[in-house]
């Protein structure tokens, strides 16, 4: 089983070589700019590690993993827009709408979503694409709740806004390894804990969400609990899951 760093290398290489629809023309530059902004590629690496833990090969899951990362990038580009979170920077660089203008950012986000489905549809069966369509609708619903109902149920928002795509990353990994639907739930329970952990750590790092509402100490305590539950779910799976365990540790220790 390959370690997360090696899987991350596969993801970066695949994304760099990704053939986008040729007619996208100049819009491809905007899409590449947002895709290249990098980050730790947690979702696609989680997808590949899941495939390997479930007995498949990471290479077979690369289009699915890339599709998940494109959906994530689409959501960042649109969330950064002035009408939504109004963020001028993303990972130390100007966000897409600051660099290329709002029109280009909106259309680049749209095109990232369309291309994500094209990638997800490169498989002979529709499972990966179905997984992604459901997760995307949920994620958008979470963002809508977040911008319209600041006083609402944070856990419910996070389960939609972050949890759905984490579950889809694991789900796409399972489909790539041909794990039957009836055997997927324990893996998905693990994915939801990793999603909760990721969001809680994010809240502590950004000083919002749970950290803003209940304080850093409480948010960190909830994160630690989610990490403990994620590791327990992995043990229950009873597979060689050292890469997945390492991903949990990385997400928990993120600074």
d(CA 228, CA 226): 5
Q: Examine residue 140 and tell whether it contacts its own copies (CB under 8 A).
A: yes
Q: How far is CA 127 from the centre of its chain?
A: 18
Site string for its own copies, 37-76 (x = CB under 8 A): -------------------------------------x--
By the 8 A CB rule, do 67 and 172 touch? yes
Q: Which is nearer to its own copies, 156 or 232 (CB)?
A: 156
Q: Examine residue 171 and tell whether it contacts its own copies (CB under 8 A).
A: no
Judged by CB under 8 A, the chain residues 193 through 212 that form the site for its own copies are: none
* Best CA proximity match to 75, nearest among 123, 143, 20: 143
Which residue has tokens 């966000």?
A: 95
One of 45, 62, 66, 104 touching its own copies (CB under 8 A): 104
One of 12, 87, 110, 246 touching its own copies (CB under 8 A): 110
d(CA 41, CA 201): 16
Q: Examine residue 178 and tell whether it contacts its own copies (CB under 8 A).
A: no
Q: Which is nearer to its own copies, 61 or 252 (CB)?
A: 61
By the 8 A CB rule, do 237 and 248 touch? no
The minimum distance between CB 67 and its own copies, in angstroms, equals 11
Going from the C-alpha of 81 to that of each of 85, 88, 101, 148, the distances in angstroms are 6, 8, 10, 15
Q: Which is nearer to its own copies, 36 or 102 (CB)?
A: 102
Q: Give the SS3 label for residue 118.
A: helix
By the 8 A CB rule, do 142 and 159 touch? yes
The minimum distance between CB 210 and its own copies, in angstroms, equals 21
**147: Cβ contacts below 8 Å, ≥ 6 apart:** 84, 85
Q: Examine residue 155 and tell whether it contacts its own copies (CB under 8 A).
A: no
One of 18, 134, 155, 245 touching its own copies (CB under 8 A): 134
Q: Examine residue 169 and tell whether it contacts its own copies (CB under 8 A).
A: no
Query: Exposed, middle or buried: residue 38 (CB in 10 Å: 0-12, 13-18, 19+)?
Result: exposed
Q: Examine residue 118 and tell whether it contacts its own copies (CB under 8 A).
A: yes
Q: Which residues bind its own copies (CB under 8 A)?
A: 21, 23-27, 74, 78, 81, 83-84, 101-104, 106-107, 109-111, 113-115, 117-118, 121, 123-126, 129-130, 132-134, 136-138, 140-141, 143-145, 147-148, 160
């Amino acid at each position: 089983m390959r370690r997360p760093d090696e899987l991350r290398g596969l993801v970066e290489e695949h994304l760099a070589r990704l053939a986008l629809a040729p007619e996208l023309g100049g819009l491809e530059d905007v899409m590449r700019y947002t895709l290249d902004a990098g980050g730790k590629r947690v979702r696609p690496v989680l997808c590949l590690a899941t495939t390997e833990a479930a007995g498949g090969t990471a290479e077979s899951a690369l289009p699915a993993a890339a599709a998940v990362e494109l959906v994530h990038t689409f959501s960042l580009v649109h969330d950064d827009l002035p009408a939504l979170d109004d963020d001028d920077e993303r990972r130390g660089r100007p966000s897409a709408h600051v660099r290329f203008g709002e029109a280009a950012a909106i259309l680049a986000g749209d095109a990232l979503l369309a291309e994500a489905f094209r990638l997800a549809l490169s498989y002979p069966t529709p499972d990966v694409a179905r997984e992604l369509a459901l997760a995307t609708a949920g994620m958008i619903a979470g963002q809508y709740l977040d911008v319209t109902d600041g006083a609402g149920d944070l856990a419910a928002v996070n389960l939609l806004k972050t949890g759905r795509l984490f579950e889809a990353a694991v789900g796409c990994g399972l489909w790539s390894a041909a794990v039957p639907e009836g055997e997927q739930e324990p893996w998905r329970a693990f994915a939801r804990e990793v999603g909760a952990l990721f969001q809680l750590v994010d809240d502590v790092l950004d000083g919002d969400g749970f950290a803003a509402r209940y304080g850093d100490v409480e948010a960190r305590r909830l994160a630690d609990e989610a990490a403990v539950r994620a590791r327990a779910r992995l043990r229950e799976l009873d597979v060689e899951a050292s890469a997945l365990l390492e991903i949990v540790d990385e997400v928990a220790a993120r600074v």
